[in-house]
Each structure stands twice: as C-alpha cells, then as structure tokens.
C-alpha cells in the first residue's frame, strides 16, 4: 500500500517516517514569490491587508515579514494595513466594508501600479472586484486558484460540468479581465492545490504500484507534476534530511 498525504499537519519527522510521500504548499516561500511576481507585473507599491488574529499565526506573520524584506530588496514600497478583525465582533462585514472604502484611498495615494494582497479568503471577492474597477495589480490571492474571488467578482457563470475544467475557467477570466482593461494586472495559479494534490498523488501512487516509478526524487516528480498542473511545479525539501517530504510552488497564469 502506498500512502501519500497532502497537506501535512503533524510533526514532519514523524510523518515522513511512516508515509511514502508528504506534500504541502510552500506557504512561507510565497513571501518571496508573490512580491517578485507583483514587481514583474509592474508593481511599485505592495499593500498587505490582514488583522490581528491572522497575524498571531506564526506562518502568516513570517510570510508578511518575508514579503516586506523581499519588497525592500526589490525597491518596492511595502505597507502592512490592518482591517477590522472578522474573528471578533460582527464577523466579516466590517472588514469587507473597510476594504471597499480603503482600497480606493490607497490607490488614489499610491497609483494603479500597486499590488493588493489580503490574507483572508472573503477579502478576495472585494479585492478582485476593486481591481477590475480601479485597474491596480492583484498578483495572487491568499489561496491561489482561479476559483477564489474571480467567479464572484466577475460574475462568471460556471456550469456544473465545467467546474473542474480550469482551462475553460481561465479563458473566461482572461476574457473578463480584457473587457475590464485589466490585461496583465491579474494573476493566480492555473489550478487549485485542492485539485492538483489529489490528481498528482493518484498518478504517483499508480506508477509506484505498477513499477513505472521507483524514485520519488524531485527530478522524477517534477515532470509528472507539470503534466497535471499544465505549468512547472517547483519542489523543495521540507528539511534537508527528509527525502520524501516536499513543499511546492506552482508557476502562475497572468490574465
């Protein structure tokens, strides 16, 4: 029996000891890749929206700090702004209302070559809708996928049979971005990790069982991952001494 898990929430050393292949998203490294992509898309300012209970989480606080360091290295102005906290008080409504009002103020101040990033999933509908209106840059959502924020903000009608057809969904998003005059200003990963990991893991397990795959090193996994995702997928060891626990970053699609 082949056991593959993605993502992992327990002790990495223990999991790697008993599991054939462990996979997760490289959440920390996105602190580098998102600002770098934003700069390539033309960003001169990077605004990070979050709130206290999110910034109390070590992984999110560490990513924010790395985003700041990366922006400083790139010569991009970095701002960390707090919204009302949806985990306390009246839930998401005050947070979303704040974004509705504050994003236009920031774009008026810093210009359209500003990338907006939010750490909370409900934020994405507002951020993308405002990007379509104000033409600023949205390099990546908190959870990079064509199905977060884009369908709601763009009022996409995705049929049940097309729900897993990401080529078609990405084409729909690209068309809407062009209609709004936002070509080159919006981006994400071309498929969600919630789709990628099960599909990729199944392919790896089948090839291991059938004897077509005998090595689970990066050189063997990368071509298989590209077949599933349609773009390059980059693997890094979780720790140098763990040869079966990898974190991934996926190449992006820019609409």
Report pLDDT digits (tens) over 18-32: 999 999 999 999 999
Distance (Å, rounded) from C-alpha 68 to C-alpha 16? 32
Question: What span, in angstroms and rounded, lies between the C-alpha atoms of 80 and 46?
Answer: 9
What is the pLDDT, as a whole number, of residue 251? 97
Interstrand relation of 245-250 and 233-237 (parallel, antiparallel or unpaired): antiparallel
DSSP state of 25: E
Query: Taking phi first (over 0 means left), then psi (-120 to 50 degrees means alpha), and beta for anything else, what does residue 89 get?
Result: left
Distance of CA 183 to the CA centre of its chain: 19
- Distances in Å between the Cα of 212 and the Cα atoms of 15, 103, 253 are 25, 52, 31
pLDDT at 75: 98
Residues of the chain with pLDDT under 50: none
pTM: 0.94
CA nearest 137: which of 206, 251, 35, 229?
35
Domains of the chain (ranges, CATH numbers):
4-27+193-254 (no CATH), 30-188 (3.40.50.11390)
Distance between terminal CA atoms of the chain?
41
DSSP state of 147: T
Tell me what pLDDT residue 2 has.
86
Query: Can you say whether the dihedral through the CA atoms of 63, 68, 74, 79 is positive or negative?
Result: positive
């Amino acid at each position: 029996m082949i056991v593959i898990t993605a993502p992992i929430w327990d002790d990495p050393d223990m999991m790697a000891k008993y599991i054939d292949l462990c996979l997760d998203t490289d959440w920390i490294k996105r602190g580098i890749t998102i600002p770098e992509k934003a700069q390539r898309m033309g960003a001169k300012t990077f605004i990070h929206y979050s709130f206290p209970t999110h910034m109390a989480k070590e992984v999110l606080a560490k990513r924010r700090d790395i985003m700041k360091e990366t922006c400083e290295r790139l010569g991009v102005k970095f701002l960390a702004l707090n919204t009302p906290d949806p985990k306390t008080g009246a839930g998401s409504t005050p947070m979303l209302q704040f974004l509705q009002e504050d994003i236009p103020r920031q774009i008026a101040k810093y210009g359209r070559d500003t990338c907006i990033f939010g750490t909370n999933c409900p934020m994405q509908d507002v951020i993308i809708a405002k990007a379509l209106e104000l033409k600023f840059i949205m390099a990546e959502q908190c959870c990079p996928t064509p199905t977060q924020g884009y369908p709601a903000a763009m009022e996409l009608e995705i049929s049940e049979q097309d729900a897993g057809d990401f080529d078609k969904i990405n084409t729909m998003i690209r068309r809407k971005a062009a209609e709004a005059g936002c070509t080159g200003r919006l981006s994400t990963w071309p498929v969600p990790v919630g789709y990628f990991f099960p599909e990729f893991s199944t392919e790896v397990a089948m090839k291991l069982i059938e004897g077509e795959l005998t090595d689970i090193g990066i050189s063997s996994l990368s071509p298989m991952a590209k077949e599933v995702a349609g773009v390059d997928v980059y693997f890094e060891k979780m720790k140098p001494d763990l040869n079966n626990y990898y974190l991934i970053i996926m190449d992006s699609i820019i609409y």
